[in-house]
Homo-oligomer: A and B are copies of this chain.
Amino acid sequence: MLSIVILGAAAGGGVPQWNCGCANCRSARNGHPELKSTQASIAVSADQQNWFLINASPDLRQQLTGTPALHPRAGALRHSPVAGVILTNGEVDALAGLLSLREGAAFGLYAHRRVLDILDDNPIFNVLRADLVPRRAIDVGAAFEPTLPGGQVSGLVVEPFAVPGKIALYLEAADSNAEGDTIGLVIRDTARTRKLVFLAACAEVTPAIAARLEGADLVFFDGTLWRDDEMITAGLGQKTGQRMGHISMREAIPALAGLDIGRRVFLHINNSNPALRPDSPERREAAHAGWIVPADGMEITL
């Protein structure tokens, strides 16, 4: 069995974004709190007691406070069900939440060497003491079993895979794209009866990507934008989705239509995306194609 909680569904900045007056952000502030969404992260567990976070968003403290499954167990003075964190890229919206996991707790931190290098280059992340939070390099194609802080098995098997994407925005000037900047994850229970694929940033559905998704019980897929030029036409930015490393929903939906996938859930949804609104034609089109646009806190059991 695999249990999943969607801690946050939104892209960087969240909904509402602090400095944004677009239609969705305005609505989220005024009269439509159901549009509010924190930045993308999920929690996964094979035993419903020990959980692994996929990415640590800047909203992590708020997300943990709002998720009973992730509260300390009754009677413990200090404890957390968070057994580990697996990072899939080095963007601020994927890793800033690590700064909210200080306070002397032990957990495992897993990321590609390219992303661990970012942490190593920023001494502020030393608030996570190396003796309590070991940093473990993971590599594409090399499946691993994340362990609990005491070394026990987690019941999970995770296989990272390469994804067409890009390096973190704030590093663009200093470095160029390389394998490992963005990874996807195939997550299974150790008996391999369930398959979850996490792919919250993806620039293109290549045959290799399609093969990874085939047969999954659940897929979390990049839902940043509805249209590739959506930020530009809304006056919110100068970049296309492709430039930011994100395929649009309207391209992804047909590209994945023929695959055998149990549940399809968009994640990392930008505040500019009209499919955020339950009453929009875009949401209806996504739903009609079998896609879920989730709310924070949604729970899924496989």
Contacts and interface: CB of A to CB of B under 8 A. Distances in A.
Nearest to A65: B16
Contacts of A18: 60-61, 64-65, 70, 80, 82, 100-101, 103, 105
B21 A100 contact: no
Contacts of A61: 14, 18, 38, 58-59
Interface residues of A, number: 56
Given A13-B103, A14-B61, A58-B99, A78 B124 contact: no
Contacts of A122: 122-124
Contacts of A19: 72, 78-80, 82, 103-105
A12 B72 CA distance: 18
A120 to B, nearest CB: 11
29 contacts: A12-B103, A13-B102, A16-B65, A18-B60, A18-B65, A18-B82, A18-B101, A18-B105, A19-B72, A19-B80, A19-B105, A21-B78, A22-B77, A25-B72, A29-B65, A58-B58, A58-B61, A77-B234, A77-B235, A77-B236, A92-B99, A92-B102, A96-B99, A96-B124, A118-B124, A122-B123, A122-B124, A123-B170, A124-B170
Contact of A77 (B21, B92, B126): B21
A276 to B, nearest CB: 16
Interface string A72-90: 1111111110100000000
